Amino acid sequence: CGVFGVVGVADAANFVALGLHALQHRGQEAGGIVSHDPVQGFNSARRFGYVRDNFTSQSLMQTLPGPLAIGHVRYSTAGSKGAAIRDVQPFFGEFAMGGAAIAHNGNITNANALRRELIERGSIFQSSSDSECIIHLMARSLQRNIPERMEDALKRVEGAFSVVAMTRTKLIGVRDPLGVRPLVLGKVGDGWVLSSETCALDIIGAELVREIEPGEMVVITDNEGVQSHFPFRRQPSKFCIFEHVYFSRPDSIIGGRSVYETRRQIGVELARETPVEADLVCPVPDSGTPAAIGFAHESGIPFGMGIIRNQYMGRTFIEPTEQIRNMGVRLKLNVNRALIRGKRVVLVDDSVVRGTTSRKIKEMILDAGAAEVHFRIASPPTAWPCFYGVDTPQREKLLAATMTEDEMREHLAVDSLKFISLDGLYRAVGEASGRDKSCPQYCDACFSGEYPVTPSDMIEKGFQL
Ligand code: 5GP
Ligand code: SF4
Ligand code: MG
């Protein structure tokens, strides 16, 4: 998901709509905005579909006045698939000291246990979303103001959370102690911005101030500015390494470095680790493109767009059902026959999850008359599900969970299939000496099976580590 919030500008909701549009790649199912105006109080709008199809209408935006607003774009990981509008964030709660709205990116790994406990004690849930727990925990807190209640609530929550929240006067941002999901602070005119990624600062002409740190909570008001503190026990950070590989937009900056440059570097490492004789390097667009550029540069093999992407399709992976995803590949990608014919082609993609994309693409490339097909993948084999906010399927559906690399190559029926090593990936993201085995610098659970937070709900449901 993507989260965004603004305080201290006129018609903040317009800025939020733009920000959410720039974060659309983080969630395409639905979006929502809550605003506050001193005269008109809180207002909200939650809609299915793209931001540009909903939050561009004058008549809708006029219902969201005020200098303070937050928003969310949804990509369902927890909660029901193809969800109901009641699952669309931001969530809102009315407390003794006033209202508050929250938008959550990540996934709470003890949400089932919390929900059970809260329901037993009288909470009435409105949605199936894990994030709603935060509101109910806040309602039960005895603290006197909302940021403190939020702090109380989040201390009981396990897993990954980057939260943007608001009261009548405050914009609040929090990252979980491991900092699994991103969150950045920006400045626009006299106002302040919180955003999942820097690309959404650019769209409103805001400047990046800094990243919110793992375990940090910032409370921002119009007149007092940013107040920061660290309510949780300090732990070594575990930023999601897959944000670098796929999830974030390439024009975003993470840790002072452009995601594009990191992905290009992944391609360079990949070419060093898994060289191949071939005539053409083609990305599987768009997610494989920067890595393919790096691969071509390092290997000296010419780069070409052998697969063309229909720009009117979204991210196929994020489509909730298998059937839509299956069709999606053809609706989205087509082969540039004239370029491919007779060539030994290296296809570079960011990841192999179920293998759907790679299988379809291989067929298309061979149909177009390629002489050989070699897959090079810019991440290690995805052998474990993510429980921290990226929607990987159950373990059984992951190709790499049940097959060796050789078996995968055979299954896809390609001339070769190679993945970057975990150490290679760490080098590419800027860790010169690779992965620190005793305390990895990132979360890489979907590749290593080492989960930095015990996924207790899933273990209760029978998941085996
Ligand atoms: P597959 O077709 O193997 O199931 O999925 C791999 C493709 O899904 C890649 O092209 C990758 O770009 C894309 N993808 C989109 N979203 C995700 C995601 O959340 N996780 C992973 N691992 N891949 C994703
Ligand atoms: Fe990111 Fe993978 Fe960790 Fe999920 S399991 S947070 S996708 S690195
Ligand atoms: Mg892709």
**Atom 1 (ligand 2) nearest CA:** 240
C-alpha torsion 358→386→395→270, nearest 10? 40
Q: How much is the average pLDDT of 365-380?
A: 97
Q: Is 164 in the pocket of ligand 1 (CB under 6 A)?
A: no
Cα of 92 vs centre of ligand 1, distance in Å, is: 32
Q: Where are the beta strands (DSSP E) in 284-343?
A: 307-309, 333-335
Answer yes or no: 386 catalytic.
Answer: no
Say what the pLDDT of residue 331 is.
Answer: 76
Report the residue among 75, 180, 240, 382 best suited for mutation to probe ligand 2: largest number of ligand atoms under 8 A from its CB: 240
The per-residue pLDDT for range 239-292, each reduced to its tens digit, is 999 999 999 999 999 999 999 999 999 999 999 999 999 999 999 999 999 999
Rounded to 5°, angle at Cα 279 from 275 and 285: 80
Q: Is 384 in the pocket of ligand 1 (CB under 6 A)?
A: no
- Residue list, CB under 5 A from ion ligand 3: 287
Contact 86, 126 (CB under 8 A): yes
Q: Is 315 in the pocket of ligand 1 (CB under 6 A)?
A: yes
CA atoms within 13 Å, Cβ hemisphere of 231? 20
Cα of 329 vs centre of ligand 2, distance in Å, is: 24
Say what the pLDDT of residue 315 is.
Answer: 62
Query: Which domains are delineated in the chain?
Result: 2-237 (3.60.20.10), 258-442 (3.40.50.2020)
Q: How much is the average pLDDT of 107-129?
A: 96
pLDDT-based confidence at residue 75 (cuts at 50, 70, 90): confident
Q: Residue 439: how many CB atoms within 10 A of its CB?
A: 9
ipTM associated with this complex? 0.92
Residue 325 has pLDDT above 70, yes or no: no
Q: How much is the average pLDDT of 53-61?
A: 96
Indicate the SS3 state at residue 55: coil
